[in-house]
Amino acid sequence: MKGLPAETDFVVIGTGVAGLRAAIELAAAGRVLVLSKKEVRDTHTPAAPDLNDEDEVTIHLQDTLTAGDGLCNTTAVKALIDEAPERIEEVIAWAKHFDHAGAKLVFVQEKTHSHSRVLHAQGESTASEVLRALTAKAHSLKHISFAPFAFTTALLTGAGRITGISLLNETGVPQEIACSAVLLATGGMGRIYRDTTNSEMATADGIGLAFRAGAEIGDMEFVHFHPTSLYMKKVPRFLLSEALRTEGAYLRNFELDRFMAKYHPLGVVAPSDLVARAIVHEMEVSRAKDPFVYLDLTHLSATKVQKHLPRVYAACMRHNVDITEDLIPVRPAAHFCLGGVRTDLNGRTNLAGLFAAGETAATGVHGANRFPSNSLLESLVYGARSGRAMREELKPTSTTTTLPKAAYSNGPVDAGVEELITQIQTVMWSDVGIVRTRMGMQKAIKALEEIAPKIAHPKTRRAHEAANLHLAALLVARSALAREESRGAHYRMDYSDHDDKKFLKHSVVRGDSVRFL
């Protein structure tokens, strides 16, 4: 679009599944401006949404509650499951390329699912097809306009509610846009960690924006670490999903021994947190300077591997790893943020006019750990629910002024900022990662607090991202330190059991303090 408006009715920050689905819902109620910090299509590259038959509802509910380890909001999970069929049927109607076997859609079973309920497109991934369908639908609606490369820097408030946003536009000029309501659909925060499956985009911007505006942030200690991502120098940590282990892959340590039987009777298909911790342990005992373990598919039929895992096969081949013949070097990596901006069942936060959906939101669906493939589905269902609720916020807006041009800029990228980001990621990986201790987390908090003044007044996009990463890292570390037990994705060596009496509750961070509600 040419130039950004000074005012609109609704601002949606994010062009992933959550943002697009909300925008489609809002289009009937007023003007919707959808922002992305890069290209519209630059969102996460996920895989597959769940689709459950009606007779499977109880099982899906049970699987999700089990994964959530006591902290799921059952009503939120039920809403997800009840609305899923309708939301998915809509997307199927808008899309064209989901897998069929004759007239039926193809469902496959993921490792921790008790039934086959994941919908696939073109062999392995639905995400691009879902995104394509939502983008095309949103483009077809005349009240929706897109603003790519518009980086939101702050939420504006007045009289206790949201009044607009400020941003850096495509050319780095600051601008304010007045609106009735804002949806944060800004995705995850994986980049607070050194090793992550998340793209560069996952810098916790929604959490930073919401926290600074006074919204409640919760459950930040729960970060899901995927046990296996491709580990090669200067290669992004490509996710090697559960599908490889359900296909029959072995895990081998540095000495090429199959080690998982030592840790769990289910071996490689044990719960993924346990697999991740087993890998961490094997890497530690190897005493290697640059440790990793291997996934091994070489004993399986090459034709079957290529047919069942075409995307993984092609991705590894791009880095000269033929998964039918070579061992695949892997490490665990931060994958999904279970906490975030606290919302009710309609995406409402505690700040009037501010909504959140998708990975940046904490709706209560996931609890202490994620049930695989629920996140895309959550983005779809809760994106739509937030869009519907936001319609009620429509109010007359007042035009706000543009900030002076010289205040900020798009670059150049400051090497000092990159160095600070690396420090944050290293501290978080070493001391607030897969296995946590009080001493480690206290050390991390001290190191993060020392970085704070260097990051306090961001002037560029990257510096804003650094400030958001830093804030989210601190919130994770403080929440993890306060939760003196192990639960779901949060594992402490010094408190290795549940403590239901004290901690069957959600953490909420405000300022420096953490409360449990």
Ligand X SMILES: Cc1cc2nc3c(=O)[nH]c(=O)nc-3n(C[C@H](O)[C@H](O)[C@H](O)COP(=O)(O)OP(=O)(O)OC[C@H]3O[C@@H](n4cnc5c(N)ncnc54)[C@H](O)[C@@H]3O)c2cc1C
| 25, 56, 63, 205: residue in contact with ligand X (rule CB under 6 A) | 205
Say which amino acid occupies 36: S
For 500, counting Cβ atoms within 10 Å of its Cβ (0-12 exposed, 13-18 middle, 19+ buried), the class is exposed
Site string for ligand X, 232-271 (x = CB under 6 A): -------x--------------------------------
Within 10 angstroms of residue 363's Cβ, the number of other Cβ atoms is: 27
Residue 222 CB, nearest approach to ligand X (Å): 14
Residue 204 lies near ligand X (rule: CB under 6 A): no
Site string for ligand X, 42-61 (x = CB under 6 A): xxxxxxxx------------
Residue number with CB closer to ligand X (239 or 428): 239
For 22, counting Cβ atoms within 10 Å of its Cβ (0-12 exposed, 13-18 middle, 19+ buried), the class is buried
Residue 15 lies near ligand X (rule: CB under 6 A): yes
Residue 150 CB, nearest approach to ligand X (Å): 6
Residue number with CB closer to ligand X (206 or 440): 206
Q: Which stretch, 15-23, 89-97, 98-106, 156-164, contacts ligand X (CB under 6 A)? A: 15-23
Contact present, 68 and 490 (Cβ < 8 Å): no
Separation CA 432–CA 426 (nearest Å): 10
Whether the CA torsion 434, 440, 445, 446 is positive or negative: it is negative
Within 10 angstroms of residue 96's Cβ, the number of other Cβ atoms is: 10
Residue 266 CB, nearest approach to ligand X (Å): 21
Residue 212 lies near ligand X (rule: CB under 6 A): no
Residue 17 lies near ligand X (rule: CB under 6 A): yes
Site string for ligand X, 318-337 (x = CB under 6 A): ------------------x-
Q: Which stretch, 31-39, 257-265, 412-420, 483-491, contacts ligand X (CB under 6 A)? A: 31-39
Residue 379 lies near ligand X (rule: CB under 6 A): yes
Contact present, 278 and 259 (Cβ < 8 Å): yes
For Cα atoms 78, 356, 368, give the angle at the middle one, nearest 5 degrees: 55
Whether the CA torsion 363, 366, 367, 368 is positive or negative: it is negative
Say which amino acid occupies 320: N
Site string for ligand X, 140-169 (x = CB under 6 A): ----------xxx-----------------
Residue 34 lies near ligand X (rule: CB under 6 A): no
Residue 132 CB, nearest approach to ligand X (Å): 13
Please tell me the number of Cα atoms within 13 Å of 271 on its side-chain side: 14
Residue 347 CB, nearest approach to ligand X (Å): 12
Does an H or E element contain 15, and which?
Answer: none
Residue 64 lies near ligand X (rule: CB under 6 A): no
Cβ neighbors of 480 (< 8 A, separation 6 or more) are 220, 221, 432, 436, 441, 490, 492
Residue number with CB closer to ligand X (74 or 199): 199
Tell me if residue 513 falls in helix, strand or coil: strand
Does an H or E element contain 395, and which?
Answer: none
Number of residues that bind ligand X (CB under 6 A): 39
Task: Return the closest-CA partner of residue 451 out of 474, 431, 430.
Answer: 474
Residue 201 lies near ligand X (rule: CB under 6 A): yes
Residue number with CB closer to ligand X (150 or 312): 150
| 14, 30, 227, 291: residue in contact with ligand X (rule CB under 6 A) | 14
Tell me if residue 27 falls in helix, strand or coil: coil
- Residues near ligand X (CB under 6 A): 13-19, 35-38, 42-49, 150-152, 185-188, 197-198, 201, 205, 239, 336, 358-359, 373-376, 379
